[in-house]
């Protein structure tokens, strides 16, 4: 190596050393400035992570349907002559609910019955005479046909009269009456709704990936905001053999016990289906998780030496986590947090790695596995 090259290397080392030394000095001066300035810590609320029993389950929303339900309407028109029910009443199958005026139909029925009786008497007389060879076979055949025709007309007229008597097709609870005495009803006009409420169906949808995790007879629990805190038990009674090609969801029907007749058709409900065994998992409030496209993160609170008053200084540390299923206000943490870690539950928007923090848990976010609405 020549003397000239050696001199050049020494000069380069001095130059770069000066540059890096200046940068280090600059960084140290900035830190001293920030320390002297006294950046205030951020106030956050926290929770200590712990393991809890976690029951895997599928959740869905659905609607209630009556096991039997119909809008009662007449098959024929007529004037309402009698109403035999009250709105909201429980009735048994076959109960007479409403009568339409059938005076003219009954009168015609009596006439047809008289004609049928005459045809029967004629047939019986001619049959006896046929045995005595007083009348021909042709006469007896005509009498037989006349009798059958007359009886058929009586049966048809009797059916028409019966249609003027509206009866409950099954046992259930009646709705609100929509007709009045003396009103003329056309065929098919709704009189009242009749619903059988115990038990009751709940129809809901699940994604096709869940089909392998459910079976007919599997237990379900149903909740509705109409009765906060109350759970209704049931079982899956049917799984649609066809998947909706538009949504890739499959329709499920469960039969739910409704002994007090609290659940009503058309109600919106939430359904939970337990699957698998109970696990022990770290759970955190959903407010503790910051969801990002590149990964979900939480902020842990750690000690960072001592503060000015001799108390331990606290700082926030960012940590990526793997989240699992949610349950009410809680979310399962599969990886990234261990039991005993102190996790920030609110105030994360102000935090960065190393930000000093002060804990204030006077107000804590909701952390309930089964939250209930409250009127305040």
pLDDT (0 to 100) of residue 266: 93
* Unique residue bearing structure tokens 């339409």: 100
Distance from C-alpha of 62 to C-alpha of 65, rounded to nearest angstrom: 10
pLDDT band, very low/low/confident/very high, at 307 (cuts 50, 70, 90): low
What six digits make up the tokens of 12? 């380069």
pLDDT band, very low/low/confident/very high, at 52 (cuts 50, 70, 90): confident
Q: Pick from 339, 333, 338: which is nearest to 286 by CA?
A: 333
Distance from C-alpha of 44 to C-alpha of 285, rounded to nearest angstrom: 14
Neighbours of 95 (CB within 10 A): 17
Distance from C-alpha of 186 to C-alpha of 351, rounded to nearest angstrom: 72
Who has greater pLDDT, 371 or 184? 184
Percent composition of the chain: helix, strand, coil (DSSP 3-state, to 5): 25, 40, 35
Distance from C-alpha of 230 to C-alpha of 225, rounded to nearest angstrom: 9
- Average pLDDT, integer, range 270-297: 87
Distance from C-alpha of 303 to C-alpha of 313, rounded to nearest angstrom: 6
Please classify residue 150 by burial: count the beta carbons closer than 10 Å to its beta carbon, then call 0-12 exposed, 13-18 middle and 19+ buried. buried
Domains of the chain: 40-53+279-359 (2.40.420.20), 58-67+190-274 (2.40.30.170), 102-163 (1.10.287)
Question: What is the enclosing helix (H) or strand (E) of 75?
Answer: none
Q: Within 13 Å, how many C-alpha atoms sit on residue 9's CB side?
A: 6
- Average pLDDT, integer, range 349-354: 84
Asked whether the beta carbons of 343 and 298 are under 8 A apart, the reply is yes
Q: How far is CA 300 from the centre of its chain?
A: 36
* Unique residue bearing structure tokens 């109409």: 226
Q: Within 13 Å, how many C-alpha atoms sit on residue 212's CB side?
A: 1
Distance from C-alpha of 114 to C-alpha of 122, rounded to nearest angstrom: 12
- Average pLDDT, integer, range 200-205: 96
pLDDT of 305 over the 70 cut: no
Question: What are the beta bridge partners of residue 223?
Answer: 270
């Amino acid at each position: 190596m020549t003397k000239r090259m050696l001199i050049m290397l020494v000069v380069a080392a001095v130059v770069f050393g000066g540059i890096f030394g200046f940068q280090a000095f600059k960084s140290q001066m900035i830190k001293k400035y920030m320390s002297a300035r006294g950046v205030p810590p951020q106030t956050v609320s926290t929770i200590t992570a712990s393991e809890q029993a976690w029951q895997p389950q599928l959740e869905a929303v659905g609607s209630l349907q009556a096991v039997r339900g119909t809008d009662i309407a007449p098959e024929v028109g007529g004037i309402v002559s009698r109403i035999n029910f009250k709105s909201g009443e429980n009735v048994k199958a076959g109960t007479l609910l409403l009568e339409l005026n059938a005076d003219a139909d009954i009168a015609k029925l009596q006439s047809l019955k008289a004609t049928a009786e005459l045809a029967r008497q004629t047939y019986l007389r001619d049959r006896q005479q046929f045995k005595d060879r007083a009348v021909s076979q042709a006469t007896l055949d005509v009498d037989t046909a006349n009798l059958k025709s007359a009886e058929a007309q009586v049966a048809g007229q009797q059916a028409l009269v019966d249609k003027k008597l509206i009866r409950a097709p099954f046992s259930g609870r009646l709705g609100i009456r929509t007709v009045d005495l003396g009103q003329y009803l056309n065929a098919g006009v709704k009189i009242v709704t009749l619903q059988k409420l115990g038990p009751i169906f709940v129809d809901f949808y699940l994604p096709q990936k869940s089909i392998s995790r459910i079976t007919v007879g599997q237990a379900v629990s149903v909740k509705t905001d109409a009765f906060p805190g109350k759970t209704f038990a049931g079982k899956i009674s049917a799984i649609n053999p066809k998947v909706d090609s538009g949504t890739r969801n499959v329709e499920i029907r469960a039969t739910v016990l409704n002994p007090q007749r609290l659940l009503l058709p058309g109600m919106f409900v939430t359904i939970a289906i337990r699957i698998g065994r109970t696990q022990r998992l770290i759970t955190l409030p959903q407010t503790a998780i910051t969801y990002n496209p590149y990964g979900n993160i939480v902020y842990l609170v750690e000690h960072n030496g001592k503060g000015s008053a001799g108390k331990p200084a606290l700082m926030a540390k960012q940590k990526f986590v793997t989240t699992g299923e949610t349950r009410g206000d809680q979310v399962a943490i599969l990886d990234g947090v261990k039991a005993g870690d102190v996790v920030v539950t609110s105030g994360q928007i102000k935090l960065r790695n190393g930000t000093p923090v002060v804990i204030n848990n006077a107000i804590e976010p909701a952390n309930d596995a089964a939250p209930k609405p409250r009127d305040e």
